[in-house]
Structure 1
Amino acid sequence: MSAVHVVKEIYIYPIKSLASISCQKALAEEMGFENDRRWMLIDAENQLITQRENPILSQFYPQISDGKITITFKDYKHEFSTTAHLEDSIEANVWEDKSEVFEVDPETSKWFSERLGFQCKLVKIIKIGDRKHESSKLKETFNVSLADGYPYLLIGSESIDFLNEKLENKITVLRFRPNIVITSKNAHEEDDFDTFAIGEVQFKNIKPCGRCIMVNNDPQKSIIKKEPLKTLSKYRVVNNSVLFGTNIVSLNSGIISVGDTVIF
């Protein structure tokens, strides 16, 4: 079974709800991959800002090099240090979770505010424990980043292929914002994974991921459409939730790479 499952793609999303960065390898940490969703945008009430209400965020493209993050949006660019943050903390919400975060700097917040057309701040979570998320399934609390719920999302290649067979207009797996894409034999078999190893890291499956309207955002055009949720709702609904991909946590830190075999 394990020979079938090989890491095909790895992605991080440094700033929550912005575009991804494709990686050949990544350092897995308790809160997620290094630099994955350690930053997010918040509004004047310290509430998170996402593609759900602002689909244009999908056209902000980050890159990381030499300790700096560069954001490109249309003809605009902005750069800031990965270590930059102000001293005073802010209590922000990531859905039901309280998170202690720090504004990166006023110049960066101003740049995003001008691009988006409303007042916002770019903030950073800087240490483990600044946000905790309770798993209702496991009755266990996890230290997490600024991701929606869990540190990692894994998707099998057959799951996206099976969906695309049903869609008139094909989509890429990036609609579902995975961290790890593996080759697989059967659609959605990742839902039933237990514990497994990739590279230096042991992972544990928590639960399949319930999806929201954000997967209907065409990231190249920033237009919310009806698909793929319309089609998924015909065959992937469990307890009123549309499931696609599965939420996992790491049990130790280490490097995983594209091409690594998944060991069960």
Structure 2
Amino acid sequence: MNTIHVVKEIYIYPIKSLAGISCQNAKAEEMGFENDRRWMLLDAENQMITQREYPIMSQFYPQISDGKISISFKDQKHEFSTTEHLDIPIKVNVWDDQSEVVEVNFATSKWFSEQLGFECKLVKIMKNGDRKHESSRLKETFNVSLADGYPYLLIGTESLDFLNEKLEEKITIKRFRPNIVISTQKEHEEDDLDTFKIGEVQFKNVKPCGRCIMVNNDPQKGIVKKEPLKTLSKYRNVNNSVLFGTNIVSLNSGVISIGDEVVF
């Protein structure tokens, strides 16, 4: 690729399945960006809770400032420290991976329970190595956060533009919850990336990302629709998996920023 590719958008999602935060820059770590999906909600049986079952979760908006995370939901707000946690370990599964987490505090769990209308608790993954994910494609094991599978999701701008040309109701990139959006010249060229550098960080492509019903949830309304999966399935269905964006891992730590060139 001889054309210049640059970073257009950066997002983190502090609490799994809640709304994301748009960032000017972010610190890349092995597990993902700093503070990205280090927290998640569990139900009374310690099963993870996501927008797949509860689309309204897209209406919880986090912000991080001065070492605290504040959550806004409708006219309610709650705040907790990024460092606070209880000391009792909890064994949970994130899909096929076992992870060790700890509850943040009882007040935060109670607040989420009241807003969602059922018993739940907010938990945190404490350190690198508390969850490992094996890549069958690379035959490697990675330390990851509480993300579905891999630490980072990257999407090219042309992939969304190409999809929107086919949709009656246009959508934004937020439907796909990327961590990094780069300018591209051709749709889905990100699928074919190998290793590349952004800012201080070397990244490696693992595999294109198979998408689920969650991308049909309109994040601004918390309403599940038929698109874009219906349209995507017509031209991006590979081995019964609808692909959009690609999963990547970082090979070192460092900061990346909007405007950074993608160097191949």
TM band (smaller chain): over 0.9
The aligned runs of 1:3-22 (5 Å cut-off) are 3-22=3-22
Give the aligned partner of residue 76 of structure 1.
76
Equivalent position SS for 1:202: strand
C-alpha distance in 2 between matches for 1:25 and 1:223: 30
Equivalent residue, structure 1, for 2:260: 260
Match of residue 171 from structure 1 = 171
Q: How many residues align?
A: 264
Aligned to 1:241: 241
Q: Which runs of 4+ in 1 moved over 3 A?
A: none
Secondary structure of 1:234's aligned partner = helix
Percent identity at matched positions? Answer: 81
Letter paired with 1:90: I
Kindly provide the amino acid, as one letter, of the partner of residue 146 in structure 2. L
Amino acid at match of 1:236: R
Matching residue of 2:105: 105
When normalised by structure 2's length, the TM-score is 0.99
Residue 7 of structure 1: SS of its match in structure 2? strand
Aligned position for 1:202? 202
Q: CA deviation at 1:121?
A: 0.4
The equivalent residue for 1:127 is 127
Greater mean alpha carbon deviation, residues 136-145 or residues 177-186: 136-145
Corresponding residue SS for 1:133: strand
Q: Note the C-alpha offset of 1:4.
A: 2.5
Quote the offset at 1:3 in angstroms. 4.3
Whole-angstrom CA distance in 2 between matches of 1:256 and 1:236: 29
**Alpha-carbon displacement from aligned partner over 1:184-210 (angstroms, at most 9, x marks no partner):** 000000000000000000000000000
SS in 2 for 1:233: helix
What TM-score do you get using the length of structure 1 for normalisation?
0.99
> Which one-letter code corresponds to 2:248 in the other structure?
I
Deviation of 1:221 (Å): 1.1
Q: Is the 8 A contact 1:8 1:258 kept in 2?
A: yes
Whether the aligned pair in 2 keeps the contact of 1:15 and 1:37 (CA below 8 Å) is yes
How far off its partner does 1:2 sit? 5.2
* Structure 1 unmatched runs, 5+: none
Q: Using the alignment, how far apart are the partners of 2:2 and 2:261 within structure 1?
A: 7
5 Å-filtered alignment, 1:87-98, equals: 87-98=87-98
Q: Distance in 1 between matches of 2:57 and 2:234?
A: 29
Does residue 212 in structure 1 map to residue 212 in structure 2? yes
1:208-264 per-position Cα deviation (integer Å, ceiling 9, x unaligned): 000000000011111111000000000000000000000000000000000000000
In the alignment, what sits opposite 1:190? 190
Cα distance in 2 for partners of 1:93, 1:114 equals: 24
Calculate the aligned-residue CA RMSD, in Å: 0.6
Q: Verify the 8 A CA contact 1:110 1:121 in the aligned structure 2.
A: yes
The alpha carbon displacement at 1:47 in A equals: 0.8
Match for residue 57 of structure 1? Answer: 57
CA distance in 2, matches of 1:62, 1:137: 34
Task: Write the letter of the residue equivalent to 2:193.
Answer: F
